[in-house]
């Protein structure tokens, strides 16, 4: 073997090692953001399970506000469906956008319910409502932390897709779409997670 052949083989081996390294990094980062999404899924399911309890507890007091309760229930059901779709493939940007919209709608409707509940002092003092309020607030905090971890993982994956030499290699190994961030609230509202607080 002459020196040129040895150099070509060495370059080929280095190129293969770089390709394998980049591929493994992208697979690892994508798996991390999918795992981070599963943590959000756990917390959102908990939240969705609490909402019907809140609605049922409030029904007796809010007989004249049934439209508000129906809107909350419908928004919760749409959010459950959006979460199920997003759970099948967290890397699908359209499903994540649909979940974002469903969560924004649910947050608006829960805020509307909160305003209605403020008008009923007996309901605010109800032990079940106070307990549900604490659980929902705690769950909102968990969702916020899980969303932050997910967005961090997606950002790391997206940066890896755009850096050299991965920007050229990623499309060749099936990593073409960037991960989609979760922004459940508008930018201003992100600073404070939506809360259902009956004690204020």
> For the residues 148-161, what does the mean pLDDT come to?
94
**Which residue has tokens 């099948």?**
88
* pLDDT of 173 higher than 70: yes
The C-alpha atoms of residue 137 and residue 53 are separated, in whole angstroms, by 14
Secondary structure E strands in the chain: none
Between residues 136 and 24, the one the model is more confident about: 24
User: Mind listing the pLDDT tens digit for each residue in 62-120?
Assistant: 777 788 889 999 999 999 999 999 999 998 999 999 999 999 999 999 888 888 877 77
pLDDT of residue 94: 94
Q: Is 4 helix (H, G, I), strand (E, B) or coil?
A: helix
pLDDT of residue 63: 73
pLDDT band of residue 188 (cuts 50, 70, 90) is: very low
Quick one: tokens of 34?
């999918």
User: Mind listing the pLDDT tens digit for each residue in 43-56?
Assistant: 999 999 999 988 88
pLDDT band of residue 190 (cuts 50, 70, 90) is: very low
The C-alpha atoms of residue 118 and residue 111 are separated, in whole angstroms, by 11
Q: Is 88 exposed, middle or buried (0-12, 13-18, 19+ CB in 10 A)?
A: exposed
* Percent of the chain clearing pLDDT 90 (strictly above): 54
Show the domains of the chain with their CATH numbers.
3-191 (1.20.1440.20)
pLDDT band of residue 32 (cuts 50, 70, 90) is: very high
Q: What share of the chain is helix, strand, coil (3-state, %, to 5)?
A: 80, 0, 20
> Which secondary-structure segment (H or E) carries 45?
helix 3-59
The C-alpha atoms of residue 45 and residue 188 are separated, in whole angstroms, by 25
Its pTM stands at 0.80
Of 157, 35, 161, 171, whose CA–CA distance to 90 is shortest? Answer: 35
Q: Which of 36-40, 66-70, 147-151, 159-163 has the lowest mean pLDDT?
A: 66-70
* pLDDT of 195 higher than 80: no
Q: Burial code of 126-164, b = ≥16 C-beta within 10 A, e = fewer?
A: beebeebbebbeebbebbbebbebbbebbebbbebbeee
């Amino acid at each position: 073997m002459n020196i040129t052949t040895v150099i070509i083989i060495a370059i080929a081996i280095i190129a293969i090692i770089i390709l394998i390294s980049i591929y493994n990094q992208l697979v690892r980062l994508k798996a991390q953001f999918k795992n981070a999404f599963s943590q959000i899924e756990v917390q959102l399911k908990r939240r969705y399970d609490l909402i019907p309890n809140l609605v049922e507890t409030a029904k007796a007091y809010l007989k004249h506000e049934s439209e508000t309760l129906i809107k909350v229930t419908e928004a919760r059901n749409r959010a459950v469906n959006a979460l199920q779709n997003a759970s099948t493939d967290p890397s699908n940007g359209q499903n994540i956008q649909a979940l974002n919209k469903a969560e924004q709608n649910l947050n608006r409707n829960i805020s509307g319910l909160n305003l209605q509940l403020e008008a009923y002092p007996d309901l605010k003092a109800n032990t079940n409502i106070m307990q549900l309020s604490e659980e929902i607030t705690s769950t909102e905090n968990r969702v916020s932390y899980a969303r932050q971890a997910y967005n961090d993982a997606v950002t790391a994956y997206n940066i890896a897709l755009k850096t050299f030499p991965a920007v050229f290699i990623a499309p060749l190994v099936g990593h073409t779409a960037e991960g989609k961030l979760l922004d459940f609230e508008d930018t201003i509202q992100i600073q404070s997670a939506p809360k259902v607080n009956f004690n204020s």
